[in-house]
Structure 1
Amino acid sequence: MHNRRQILALGAGGAALGAVAAVGWSGDALAGFGLGGPGDLANPAEIRSEAGVLRATLRPTLSQALVDDKPRKLRRYNRGLPGPTLRVHPGDVMEIRLENGLPQNPLALPELADSPFLSAADLCGPQGMGHVAPHDLNTTNLHFHGMHVSPKGASDNVFLTVEPGGAFNYRVQIPQNHPVGSFWYHPHWHGSVAAQIGSGMAGLILVEPEDYLPAGLPERQIVIQTVIGSDAAAFDDPRQFMSLGAPRIFTLNGQYRPTLRLRQGERQFWRMLLANDFQFCPLNFKAMGLGAILVGRDGIPLHEPKPVNSLLLSPGNRFDVVVEGLAPGLHDMERQPYRHGLVDLDARTIAQVHVEPGGASSGLMPAPAATPPDITDAEISRKRRVVLGERKDPRAIFDTAFTIDGQSYDPDTWHLTPKLDTAEEWTFVNTTAYPHPMHIHINPFQVVAINGKPVAERPWHDTFVVPAAGTLTIRSRFEDFDGDFVTHCHILPHEDAGMMMNVRILP
């Protein structure tokens, strides 16, 4: 099966970049304004490219840290929550050494045949049992989510594996014409994705030219995570991290209920990432005392900046937004209620926004950036219907496996085989009671219709929600890169339970 079980040698340890701290409400600390100053949410640690090359070591480890004033077990890159932000330019090369410092995977003994901690050797038999159930929770790799780069070799190759104690040197060539915006990195070894992202493994990637942000426009990076809140004894129990009803703790840049500060009239550039396992995060900017202008979605700039009052972040989404302080005072940043199929996600205050009175409007905006042209009817070489479903399967956690076109994930089959330099239209048909934010690797797509109703704006995304019992129609160009990658639901318990399919771009 491709090079899925590749074993690699471990080298030197990675440096620590940041740490998790328990942070409560800090809105009463009104002195010392300035982004990242006293009482304000700080950006993650950052690694920048130099002379066209970004060199970084990412080392995931398992350890305890304070999150919500309680010690929680976390898997983290370089002992930070989130991992360091990687800032690069179009045309750069990312040379990233991934050193797997996670513990060895547990061995599956005969007497543990019904244990949730079975290894891949026991689960990945001829019937593909391991592709509907979690396994080898400390085996890992890297995915460069949303980036338009090669899926082959040492680039965005999600079929590579790095075992505990192993390492791999990634080399990702970013095209000169790469879109300008926000992307992210996270693990993508099928069977351990929900456990690893759900316990903290994620970080931002920012792709932009040198002159993208004007002087005087502060950049705030906001990585929203929902780390697993179960006790230590249940940390690796799939009945916790695969459950949509299990406790999750919202953090922003690793902080619990922090305060974000700005002055009335001040503009800030918010790079927002929902780097979590399943919970949606609708946000209302007006309720935060803010005006908001959307400039980019999922790493693709808008044709024109668009004023918005609210945004729906589904797992994996990024939004680049210029916010302006309007209403002085202390306002809740609330995850709005959301109907997740059969599960109601309640309103939850995840931070506070403190708007200090007495500022002046700056009017600053990021530099304009190129947006891909719309995909026309004449470009479409093929239309496909892709059916999302579920089935009972005793090998799966809670006896439920998820399917695409009637089949749970099979690493050795390719049903979707577009040709390079063509465009296709896909309609996802959701036969389940859950929404599914579908993600396609390597190439972004345009949203054409939702539930059969045309979308006039046709926004670009790489992850977008297929409504429960509804349909989503998208169009994508398969440009620049042939090779193998995947499409899947970014509700990660659904992905690890089988809702993923291989895509092969033919030359």
Structure 2
Amino acid sequence: MHNRRQILALGAGGVALGAAAGLGWSGRAEADGLAGFGLGGPGDLANPSEIRSRDGRLQATLRPQLSMALVDDKPRNLRRYNGGLPGPTLRLRPGDAIDLRLENALPPNPLPMPDPALFEAADLCGPVGSSHVAPHDFNTTNLHFHGLHVSPKGRSDNVFLTVAPGEAFNYHVQIPENHPVGSFWYHPHWHGSVAAQIGSGMAGMILVEPEGYVPEGLPERQIVIQTVIGGDAADFDDPRQFMSLRAPRIFTLNGQYRPTIRLRQGERQFWRLLLANDFQFCPLDFKAMGLAATLVGRDGTPLREPKPVDSLLLSPGNRVDVVVEGLAPGLHDMVRQPYRHGLVDLKARTLGQVHIAPGGAPSGLMPARAAPPPDITDAEIVRRRTVVLGERKDPRAVFDLAFTIDGQSYDPDDWHLDPRLGTAEEWTFVNTTAYPHPMHIHINPFQVVAVSGVPLAERPWHDTFVVPAAGTLTLRSRFEDFDGDFVTHCHILPHEDAGMMMNVRILP
């Protein structure tokens, strides 16, 4: 499988970096648009840098590299796109194309991948070879365009590509004219190095929206929540650090440690929140921040009607688009609320402060309305499947624990999830473990039908949603527009790298 990926990458535009290693972005960074609103100035959280499409095309170069950065006033060894934390936001419109060059400037992998033949005598169930249940080759990478409804083939959202250190690859992703409006993101997805790379900073936001979606006068904040590995530099490439749910993590907002977010009493701001981390859930209480919040979109799909919310739970990989209004003047902590992560209690963590200045003028501005897909009806369902999430002991895995789907860890040659293009199916994920698993399905969004057997009246659209510990998740998805191969997996990335991933093949 590894060799097949290498050949595919080189045959579809991969080249050695050579002299090109010194190139900067081929795209142009744009102003973040906050200067006119008085935001992003001294003492206020700024948006990430931004690259916008021009004349139907977004051109950019992403260059992951290893460098030291001050995070919590301590130097941390990070893998970063273009020297930033997070990477630049990519803003485009439905119908645009992304031409993105990925130049892997990370250092060579210290050790070659173990030969799978060494493990054939182990007589263990599931695929042979440590590559499918343990992390490896931490500096080999590729790109996933998380949540985008685009082709999974060739140079598009193809997570089976390989870009080794010193190589480059030219991606071409065509966005459909009718693409949903909302917030998405990009990150590495080379199986075996995903937890290490996202856990050390490799992520960035994607915004897909028509012209005028955010009205002039409504300040827009892009807030990328990351949890970078917080151990010593010597622990940076130690799998026991980034594969452990108990290892230290440092929360950042747009790369800053405990920054301040400023707004005025009565002022509305459009917050686009992305939880771009490796495993920690992030419940947020807007009321405790002195804010009134209205949810307008989640996971790249707009709501049919705006919905007032006091709090929201973000699982790893989730995005929410909310309009917040400053209510209570003063300085309020922005806190990741406590969360029971299976057998591990995640304590409250202060992410930053929200400063609400008194005396602002009330604002009624909201983003333009956008319609979600129509509900998936009973009559559309052509097949119902049950998918079982589990775990097993495996000496090849870190801490001797591998994760499974339908009884086996990730097998690159297995394709038993094989829906037909133009159909809809209902899948029930059954969690037999003591941990929650936020399951992500590539390419096509899904509607959540029930959680642990309890039907949901709203049936929200997502691309990542948590299966409760010892519970179930029932969802429905239409397989539209694109056939081809992609994956479904747990977005707790140590679980993915330890085997909780399965191939999906959409048959034409």
Q: TM range, normalised to the smaller chain?
A: over 0.9
2:147 is the counterpart of 1:143: no
Contact 1:14–1:99 (8 Å) recurs in 2 = no
CA contact (8 A) 1:151 1:485 kept: yes
Q: AA paired with 2:63? A: R
Quote the residue 1:503 is aligned against. 504
Matching of residue 97 in structure 1 with residue 101 in structure 2: yes
Q: CA offset at residue 120 of structure 1?
A: 4.7
Which position in structure 2 is the counterpart of 1:111? none
> Does 2:47 correspond to 1:47?
no
Secondary structure of the residue aligned to 2:368 is coil
Mapped pair 1:80 → 2:84: yes
Are the aligned partners of 1:293 and 1:308 in contact in 2 as well (CA < 8 Å)?
A: yes
Residue 125 of structure 1: how far off its partner (Å)? 5.8
Where does residue 452 of structure 1 map in the other structure? 453
- Per the alignment, residue 180 of structure 2 pairs with 179
Q: Deviations over 1:39-81 (max 9, x none)?
A: 1000000000000000000000001010000000000000000
- Is 1:14–1:58's contact at 8 Å kept on the other side of the alignment? no
Q: SS at 1:4's partner residue? A: helix
* Paired amino acid for 2:91: R
Q: Report the CA distance between 1:370 and its aligned residue.
A: 1.8
2:228 and 2:130 mapped to 1: Cα distance? 27
1:241 Cα deviation from its structure 2 partner? 0.5
The question of 1:15 aligning with 2:18 is answered no
Where 1:5 maps in the other structure, the secondary structure is helix
| Residue of structure 2 equivalent to 1:29 | none
Distance in 1 of aligned mates of 2:473 and 2:416: 19
Distance 1:10 1:245 in 2: 39
Q: Which letter maps to 2:154?
A: G
In 1, the alpha carbon distance for the partners of 2:137 and 2:129 equals 15
Q: Helix, strand or coil for the counterpart of 1:50?
A: coil
Task: Look up the SS of the partner of 2:6 in the other structure.
Answer: coil
> Structure 1: where are the runs of 5+ without partners?
18-31, 109-118
Per-residue CA deviation, residues 459-504 of structure 1 (Å, 9 max, x unaligned), is 0000000000000000000000000000000000000000000000
CA distance in 2, matches of 1:62, 1:75: 5
Between the aligned partners of 1:198 and 1:167, the Cα distance in structure 2 is: 22
1:177 partner SS: coil
Match of 2:462 in 1: 461
Matching of residues 472-491 of structure 1 within 5 Å: 472-491=473-492
CA contact (8 A) 1:123 1:129 kept: no
Q: Which residue of 2 aligns with 1:214?
A: 215
Tell me how far apart the structure 1 counterparts of residues 95 and 6 of structure 2 sit (CA, whole Å).
Answer: 31
Q: 1:352, CA displacement in angstroms? A: 0.3
Which deviates more, 119-128 or 432-441?
119-128
Deviations 1:90-119 (A, max 9, x none): 0000000000000001125xxxxxxxxxx2
The alpha-carbon deviation at position 16 of structure 1 amounts to 7.1
* Secondary structure in structure 2 of the residue aligned to 1:194: helix
Is 2:63 the partner of 1:59?
Answer: yes
Residue number in structure 2 paired with 1:115:
none
TM-score scaled to structure 2, two decimals? 0.93
Q: Kindly report which structure 2 residues correspond to 1:400-411, keeping only aligned pairs within 5 A, or say none.
A: 400-411=401-412
Q: Which residue of the partner structure matches residue 364 of structure 1? A: 365
Deviation, 1:246, is 0.1
Provide the rounded CA distance (Å) in 2 between the counterparts of 1:16 and 1:173. Answer: 20
Structure 1 runs, 4 residues or longer, greater than 4 Å off: 122-126
**Mapped contact 1:137–1:195 kept (Cα < 8 A):** yes
**How many residue pairs were aligned?**
483
Match of 1:25 in 2: none
Deviation at 1:10, TM superposition (A): 2.8
CA apart distance, 1:35: 1.4
Shift of 1:199: 0.2
The reply on whether 1:194 has 2:158 as its aligned counterpart is no
| Distance change (3 Å), C-alpha of 1:197 and 1:381 | same
Do 2:259 and 2:352's aligned partners in 1 also have CA atoms closer than 8 Å?
yes
Matches within 5 A, 1:292-331: 292-331=293-332
Q: How far off its partner does 1:122 sit?
A: 5.6
Distance in structure 1 (CA, Å) of the matches to 2:143 and 2:370? 27
Q: How does 1:142-291 map to 2 (within 5 A)?
A: 142-291=143-292
Give a deviation string over 1:329-367, Cα, whole Å, max 9, x none: 000000000000000000011100000000111110000
Kept in 1, the 8 Å contact 2:394–2:400? The answer is yes
What SS does the aligned partner of 2:140 have?
Answer: coil
CA–CA separation in structure 2 for the residues paired with 1:483 and 1:130: 23
Q: Distance in 2 between matches of 1:206 and 1:125?
A: 44
Question: Which amino acid in the other structure matches residue 284 of structure 2?
Answer: L
1:199 counterpart SS class: coil
CA distance in 2, matches of 1:73, 1:493: 19
Change (3 A) 1:123 1:257: farther
Partners in 2 of 1:267 and 1:241 — Cα distance? 38
User: Matches of 1:172 and 1:325 in 2, distance apart?
Assistant: 38
**Per the alignment, do residues 67 and 409 of structure 1 end up closer, same or farther by CA in structure 2, a change over 3 Å counting?**
same
8 A contact 1:123–1:135 mirrored in 2: no
Unaligned segments of structure 2, at least 5 residues: 27-35, 121-127
Query: CA contact under 8 A between 1:199 and 1:228: conserved in structure 2?
Result: yes
Code of the aligned partner of 1:10: A
Q: What whole-Å deviation, never above 9, does each CA across 1:21-40 have from its counterpart, x for those lacking one? A: xxxxxxxxxxx982101110
**Residues in 2 aligned to 1:89 and 1:167: alpha-carbon distance in whole angstroms:** 26
TM-score, normalization by structure 1: 0.94
